[in-house]
Amino acid sequence: MAAADRGTEICGNQPLNNKTPMSWLSDIFGGGGIKQALREGAVVIDLRTAYEYDQGHVPRSLNIPIDRIKANIGRIRELNKPVILCCATGSHCWEAADILRDAGIRRVINGGDWKSVLRKISK
C-alpha cells in the first residue's frame, strides 16, 4: 500500500493530492487532528501493557494492549467514535491502525507516544 493511501485511510481524510504535504502529515501524526477528534468525542486507546499503562497514561484513555486489539474490535466498533492511538514510542500505532482499518473502523489517528498525546490534549 502506498504511503498516500495508508495516510488517507488511517485518517479518513481526503486524498493526499487535495492536501498539502504538511497538513497530511499533521493529520497522521496528531497535529490538529487530535484536538478535532476529541471535539468529536474521540476515545484514546493506549496500546501499552497494563504495567506500562499503570506507570502513567492519558486521563480517561482505554488500555487495550496491542496484542489484544483484534480481540477488542467489536468493543471499539461499538464505541462509534473516532479513535486516537498511542503507545510507548508510536510504533505499535501503525500496526493497530492497520488492524482497525481492516475491520472497517476508518477514523483512526496515530497519536504517537502517549506523552505527546498528553501534551497535545493538555494545551
With vertex at residue 56, the alpha carbon angle to CA 52 and CA 59, rounded to the nearest 5 degrees, is 125
CATH number, domain 3-122, options 3.30.530.20, 3.40.250.10, 3.20.20.120, 1.10.1660.10? 3.40.250.10
123 band by pLDDT with thresholds 50, 70 and 90: confident
Least confidently predicted of 28-32, 57-61, 73-77? 28-32
Residue 73 in 3-state DSSP?
helix
Position 1 scores a pLDDT of 39
The pTM (predicted TM-score) of the whole model is: 0.76
Residue 15 has pLDDT above 60, yes or no: no
Q: Domain spans of the chain? A: 3-122
What's the whole-number mean pLDDT along residues 51-61?
97
pLDDT (tens digit per residue) in 95-112: 999 999 999 998 999 999
Position 52 scores a pLDDT of 98
Residue 21 has pLDDT above 60, yes or no: no
Q: Is 100 exposed, middle or buried (0-12, 13-18, 19+ CB in 10 A)?
A: buried
